[in-house]
Amino acid sequence: MTEKLFRLVLFTAGVLAVGTCRAQGGTSSDPKLSSVLAKLGAEAARLRDAMPNFECTENGVSTVTRDGKQKKRVTFTAAVTARRDEKGDLDETFRVSVLDGKPYGKVSVRLPFYIQGGFSGALHYFSLQKQPCYNYTLAPGRLSFSAKPDTATGPDCARDTQLDGFATLDDHGNITHMEYRIPVEAAVQYKHLTFDALDLQTVELHGQNYRIISHLTGDFPSGKDLLHFEASYAGCHYFGSSATLLPGSTVVTDDSPTPR
């Protein structure tokens, strides 16, 4: 099963602390919560629309588990390049150099599960387009959110049905960690991860600072199997538009035909 998902965030809201603030549908009468949502909405748009080309080193592991027993495990190291295409979207390609601890130079690579699209979509659930889909709760150092009961009726909210998440915030209101969960039935229906967690880092790209992923974990159900992907990203640097882009690797999952 090939599954390429945009970066999802936040989950399982915890017990509310004293002094929490709530916002329904992205609106709030509390100035602190409104300020946090406005900041995150602006940063989400900046990642999606303005982040320049860049490249990172990705170290990942992809596994398949059934009944608590691991059936397959593949590790890899790759160069991940994010580059604006003709439409202005940030297109990700990756080039595997090490597979299961050994040098690797083939074009196609067989992985049980792979997730991409997380760089430009890291703050997807805080974008101005998505904020109406959620109820937000702000507590010291923590922002929880849950899908509104009627999300299935809205065109921008349908895939977020039953999703619950949370993010931890630093003293400047930046997200440092976020995760979410969604019931298996809804995940299968909307081709959504059942669990997703990520950590963010600040990286300077072409003279500007951006909050991008440093660590990513995601699960997806496939029949009786649980597909799991985990990766870390380091050494991220600006990738000039005039630089030569080498051919990327083609991901082949276990139920996909091998490219010829």
The predicted pLDDT at position 166 comes to: 97
Instruction: Considering only CA atoms, give the Rg of the chain.
Output: 19
**From CA 118, how far away is CA 218, in angstroms rounded?**
11
**From CA 56, how far away is CA 52, in angstroms rounded?**
13
The predicted pLDDT at position 251 comes to: 60
Please classify residue 242 by burial: count the beta carbons closer than 10 Å to its beta carbon, then call 0-12 exposed, 13-18 middle and 19+ buried.
exposed
b (16+ CB within 10 A) / e for 138-177: bbeebbbbbbbeebbeeeebebbbbbbbbbebeeeeebeb
Provide the whole-model pTM.
0.80
Q: What is the pLDDT along the chain (260 residues), one digit of tens a residue?
A: 333 332 222 222 222 233 344 555 555 568 999 999 999 999 999 999 999 999 999 999 999 999 999 999 999 999 999 998 888 888 888 899 999 999 998 888 989 999 988 898 899 999 999 999 999 999 999 999 999 887 665 667 877 788 999 999 999 899 999 999 999 988 888 888 999 999 999 999 999 999 999 999 999 999 999 999 999 999 999 987 544 444 445 666 554 433 32
Does 257 fall in a domain? no
Does 1 fall in a domain? no
Does 6 fall in a domain? no
Range of the domain at 144: 21-252
The predicted pLDDT at position 213 comes to: 95
Does 4 fall in a domain? no
Long-range CB pairs of 83-86 (<8 Å, 24+ gap) are 83/53, 83/239, 83/241, 83/245, 84/52, 84/53, 84/241
Does 259 fall in a domain? no
Does 14 fall in a domain? no
The predicted pLDDT at position 16 comes to: 26
The predicted pLDDT at position 247 comes to: 47
The predicted pLDDT at position 26 comes to: 52
**From CA 199, how far away is CA 178, in angstroms rounded?**
7
Does 181 fall in a domain? yes
Quote the number of domains for the chain.
1
H, E, C per residue of 172-210: CCCEEEEEEECCHHHHHHHCCCCEEEEEEEEEEECCEEE
